[in-house]
Amino acid sequence: MAEQPGAAPASTEGLRRLNTAVVLRSLRQLGPATRAELAKRTGLAKATVGVIVGALVEAAAVSETDTVVAPGARGRPGRPVSLTGEGLLGLGLELNVDYVSAVLLDLGGRVRLSETRPVTDDPLPVLVALAQDVVRRGPRGRLLGAMVAVPGLVRGDDRSVAWAPNLHVADDLVAAAVDEALDGHCPVSVGNDANCAAFAESHHGAAVGADHALYLTGTVGIGAGIVDEGRLLRGSTGFAGEVGHMPIGDSAATCGCGRQGCWEASIGLHAMLAAAGMPELETPMRSAEAVAARADDDPRVGEALTRLGRDVGLGLAILANVLDPEVVVLGGYFVALGERVLQPAREALDQRLPSPAQRRPDLRLSTLGMEAAALGAAERSLEAVFSGEVAVAGAE
């Protein structure tokens, strides 16, 4: 890999790590390839690719398989290199008001174990117990990183929670608790839940293939994650996406932040249940499923969901005018409500977009369920490997 003009000379170790990351990214994004094909893809010398692949094989990050020579082909047959990474793992966790989730992901992008547990009291001890249990039950291997998704503002250090009105956790309390639970075996970071879920949808879910995507959470809190050409947009301080507190909701409704009129106070889980006149169940998904079933027989509940959908569309119209997303993914409890929310949201969008030249974003439901944020957190916990900041054991 050639250095950029004017850049400080890289150390040999650092350059090898960066080159290894280039190969890993190629295999993850484009699939298996022979060593010669990898050299063409990455622009690295064949000899360099050979050394990297050999080290990655030793680290059990990749495997090479024998192949049959095609009829009429000349020369020595190539052996496809595949990214396996079954023993190289990232742990994603989500800490939320009424549930916690965990996903164990290997370097190849395969989910090895996942679980969600309901919460009735303090969620942090439940999360810590779940993290320990998932690591214990998961495949043996090296834990490369862990990230906790939280519904709140996370500072630029990716560990300190600046504000989480629905959870009441602050500073590095969450990161420290998970650090202790994992005995310091890997770096632990913290990220915003909507950002993590958006990242998951762009890699595994409804936004795969979309260059510009917006994800909207559907839990007690409402937040947005913005993905532009595969990268999260976080803003100058990392706080981008706090759309739940836009002042576009019912002006008399009190939000969890203490203010009135927030969008979250009109379309969050508690607002939806209050409008439907139904109690909260074990998880947001169970609650929404019960409301959707009631709406089939109760016109008043159906009307409440139609109003909810319009309120969703109103906020999305504002965001569409600002961000111009190609795809909008509705996650969390919105998934269980389906077209009862999507259709009125589409209609509100059509009414609010000021110009016929503007394309209405494609509204889709999440395909990842309540574990979207944990899955995205697991993906993000492995980012340092794919960027070359962290070496794969034995590969350098």
* Structure confidence by residue, pLDDT tens digits, 253-267: 999 888 999 999 999
Mean per-residue pLDDT over the chain, rounded: 90
Q: What is the pTM of this model?
A: 0.87
State the Cα torsion 211-324-248-259 to the nearest 10°.
50
Q: What percent of the chain has pLDDT over 70?
A: 93
Q: Is residue 73 pLDDT above 60, yes or no?
A: no
Mean pLDDT of the 345-354 span:
92
DSSP count for the chain of H helices, then E strands? 14, 14
* Structure confidence by residue, pLDDT tens digits, 368-386: 988 999 999 999 999 999 9
Closest alpha carbon to 195 in 383, 339, 360, 346: 383
Q: Which residue has the tokens 């090898």?
A: 16
* Structure confidence by residue, pLDDT tens digits, 339-348: 999 999 999 9
Closest alpha carbon to 240 in 276, 294, 192: 192
Mean pLDDT of the 85-92 span:
92
Phi, then psi, of 331 in degrees rounded to 5: -115, -170
* Structure confidence by residue, pLDDT tens digits, 198-255: 999 999 999 999 999 999 999 888 999 999 988 999 888 888 999 999 999 888 999 9
Give the pLDDT of residue 395.
46
Give the pLDDT of residue 367.
94
Q: Is residue 5 pLDDT above 50, yes or no?
A: no
- How many residues belong to the chain? 396
User: 4-8, 51-55, 59-63: which range is least confident on average?
Assistant: 4-8
Measured CA to CA, the distance from residue 316 to residue 2 in angstroms comes to 44
